[in-house]
Amino acid sequence: MKTLAKWTGRAFTSLFVVVIVFALYSVVSSRVSGEEPQILGYQLKSVLSGSMEPGIKTGSVIAIKPSKDPNIYKEGDVITYKSIDNANVLITHRIMEIQTIDSQVHYVTKGDNNDANDTKPIPAMNVVGHYDGFTIPYIGYGLNFYNTDAGKIILLILPGILLVGYAVYTTWRTIASIEEKDEKEASESPKTV
């Protein structure tokens, strides 16, 4: 039983270290290059509306593959693009039709849960990437919280608290095991009178 607990602890520690190193690498490399953070070539985006339900639930995180050539998409593809009205707003909808306007490719899009197509065709240059089907439900609420000032502060402090807690726990376990060993040795040693 102790061997199983020991190996579980080691596996957890190794996994924790790998995740921390991978996350740090992703954040630092994206900051150095000036791009958004990527994991294995994908960007994570949170979905805050129900326009693509039931396939993509509100509050989900989706992985999108950044667009190298925004003119290559076809009808039926799900793309993430900058809103025409506000470039800071990203929308993920399905391509319903492809049009050429002033010799530029435009996509007519629609949310799967919407009754009608979006009112304006989207210029291909507004496309950020495409969705390949990877989604994690409800994690998007946490990512949105991270983008607030309070979220950033908490997520900077939380790993430190976890590391201190883990250090205290392992120290306590080590001391307990030494005391247990000393007690066992004391009880096994012959007593002299």
Q: How far are the Cα atoms of 51, 160, 168, 171, 184 from residue 165, in angstroms, in the given order?
A: 42, 8, 5, 10, 28
Q: For residues 118 and 96, what is the distance between their CA atoms, to the nearest angstrom?
A: 10
Q: Is 26 labeled as catalytic in the residue annotation?
A: no
Amino acid at 2: K
Distance from CA of residue 80 to its chain's centroid? Answer: 16
Structure tokens at 53: 């339900």
Which residue among the candidates 29, 30, 33, 49 is catalytic per the annotation? 49
Strand locations in 8-88, DSSP E? 43-46, 61-66, 78-82
Active site residues: 49
